[in-house]
Structure 1
Amino acid sequence: MNTLEEKKKINHKKLKARNIVKRGLFITIGAIIMAYGLEAVLIPNNMIDGGVTGLSMIISHITGFNLSIFLVILNLPFFFLGYKQIGKTFAFSMLYGIVALSIATSFMHHLHPIVSDKLLAVAFGGVILGAGVGLTIRNGGVLDGTETLSILVEKRVPFSVGEIIMFANVIIFSLAAFAFSLENALFSMLTYYIAFRTIDVVVKGLDDMKSVYIISDNTDEIADAITERLGRGVTFLHGEGSYSGEDKRVILCVFTRLEETKLKDIIKELDPQAFIIATDVSTVHGGRFKKKDIH
């Protein structure tokens, strides 16, 4: 018995160590990608990112000191806040990510810019930044203290995390208009928006989950078609119409974003009058969600 328990503990430690190494590796890659976007795209074109990184870029531009210095200094207070309020695992993952980003920007400081056209810089800069940040977030890291601050402040003010980040970035991009120019500040805002959308795709993936509730008089036909043509299982829920008092069967189905159009086509084909409610799903665990093979 003791031997079995010891083996379980050893396996648990190995798994934990493997997860830590994997997390560190992907955070490092994410930081390198982001650093490349900053040094090879944004900085040569006098554009900035949002958050603490953007503020660091403005101060670096004004003072002439290396960006890597300010990335660490300005993010340190958020590390201590995160350590006290959220936990040491989150805090040290954040600290590692910021140090990795700082070192990467220092090594890439003299890179030759890959684009000089402003619109190309906006597009490629946003995608590169979003890919780096998204990969880091997906693996439990953080490259900017603004997110940590917004999570902590959200508990004390009537605003969401997204709204707090937006308010902070309005101030930062306004400062960029004075440090660079209004035009560059506007280009920076577009870059940030593209990066934000890219982060969403990287973190959630193209297989982002959605769920749909379908109320129809043809539930059997729709359920069979979804299973046969889409390869997804369905669940029947029982409901009652508040006006008619009639019993209704409601179909619940979870699917990916890429399957949404095909699913809607199936429903429209079998019952154009069906009532559909589709919502985003953050995670799906357990059950029989795995897609069936379609023959």
Structure 2
Amino acid sequence: MEQPLNLASNAALKRNVADYTLIVIGAFFQALSYVLFLAPYKIVPGGVYGISIVLHYVTKGVFSFMPDGLPMGATALCFNIPLMILAMKKIGLASGPKTIVTFVLISTFTDSLSYLLGNQPLVENDSFIACFYGGAILGIGVTCVFRAQSTSAGTDVLARVIANNSNLKVSNMIIVLDSLVVLLGLIVFRDWAVPLYSWFTIFVYGKIVEMFQTENPNRAVFIVSRKTQEIKELIVGKMGMRGTFLHGRGMYEGKEKEIIFTIAERKDLPRLKDEVKEIDPNAFISTMHASKDSPRPGI
């Protein structure tokens, strides 16, 4: 019995090392995008960092102790902490610890790079190059974070809170919130180039994430196991998801059994499979593409 436990713990350790390595890489790429490409050209890519870029420029010369304006990373952190607390209270957010590490690292890298490199763009006098490569590098960073089963917090978790238990789609809420942030940039900077370049950056970023994350964002998961109560505790209590018990009967032995059905986000699926196998190595798990336009199972 001790050997399977050791194997399971070693597998979990390797998975955590791989995940946190991806988080560090993803956080660095996102910070690089903000510092070298987006912020110098006042490109507002939506989200918390879009607000932070606007506040960075608005507060230049306002505070004597911060003549260059509020630091983008620290400002984003001030938004992300309350948003994260709200999300954990309202929707659970099973990826909480990794998400906290992610947005703290992005903030740290952003302010560190700003201090070391200053506010000069990597490419002078070329906003198009800046918004294109800034969006591409941002998309690569976000993809690394998603593959580590984490998020960067920000407006996406706020969108999930607003859309939770409502008829609103999370994707639509993210578009609305990010567009409001982009329009904030237009109002503050009074330059139509700001939203036009910003929306192009968001488009490039979205396409890069889509290119590297080819699967449907949601998966329908069917689990057949004799340890349904333990798996229920994992899904509902530990991962903050919902599900439904389906009643079935085996064709070979004719025995009655319960089948667990749930909808899992792509980033949560590897963790769900690993932890179900730790509870019951003989569990049968089947997945298929799914859509969450309708109410979630178990509501």
When the two structures are superposed, what TM-score results if normalisation uses the length of structure 1? 0.65
Corresponding residue number in structure 2 for 1:83? 88
Q: 1:106 aligns with which of 99, 106, 111?
A: 111
Say whether 1:96 aligns with 2:101: yes
Change (3 A) 1:16 1:129: same
* Aligned-partner residue type, residue 159 of structure 2: S
Q: Conserved in 2, the CA contact under 8 Å of 1:51 and 1:144?
A: no
- Aligned mates of 1:187, 1:120 — CA distance in 2: 10
Corresponding residue number in structure 1 for 2:58? 62
Q: Which runs of 4+ in 1 moved over 6 A?
A: none
Q: Conserved in 2, the CA contact under 8 Å of 1:176 and 1:182?
A: no
Corresponding residue number in structure 2 for 1:133? 142
Say whether 1:165 aligns with 2:180: no
- Show structure 1 runs of 5+ residues with no match: 209-280, 284-295
Corresponding residue number in structure 2 for 1:231? none
Say whether 1:6 aligns with 2:15: no
Corresponding residue number in structure 1 for 2:203? 193
The 5 A counterparts of 1:116-265 are 116=124, 117-180=126-189, 181-204=191-214
- Aligned mates of 2:52, 2:27 — CA distance in 1: 16
The offset of 1:6, in angstroms, is 1.4
Change (3 A) 1:190 1:88: closer
- Show structure 2 runs of 5+ residues with no match: 60-68, 218-287, 291-299
Corresponding residue number in structure 1 for 2:39? 43
Q: Conserved in 2, the CA contact under 8 Å of 1:130 and 1:199?
A: yes
Larger radius of gyration: 1
Q: Conserved in 1, the CA contact under 8 Å of 2:35 and 2:110?
A: yes
* Aligned-partner residue type, residue 118 of structure 1: S
Q: Conserved in 2, the CA contact under 8 Å of 1:72 and 1:102?
A: yes
The offset of 1:92, in angstroms, is 1.1
The offset of 1:152, in angstroms, is 2.3
Question: What RMSD in Å do the two structures reach over aligned CA positions?
Answer: 2.2
Q: Conserved in 2, the CA contact under 8 Å of 1:135 and 1:202?
A: no
Q: Conserved in 2, the CA contact under 8 Å of 1:42 and 1:125?
A: yes
For these two proteins, the number of residue pairs brought into alignment is 206
* Aligned-partner residue type, residue 148 of structure 1: V
* Aligned-partner residue type, residue 60 of structure 1: H
Corresponding residue number in structure 1 for 2:65? none
- Aligned mates of 1:165, 1:77 — CA distance in 2: 18
- Aligned mates of 2:79, 2:185 — CA distance in 1: 17
Q: Conserved in 1, the CA contact under 8 Å of 2:43 and 2:197?
A: yes
Say whether 1:32 aligns with 2:28: yes
When the two structures are superposed, what TM-score results if normalisation uses the length of structure 2? 0.64
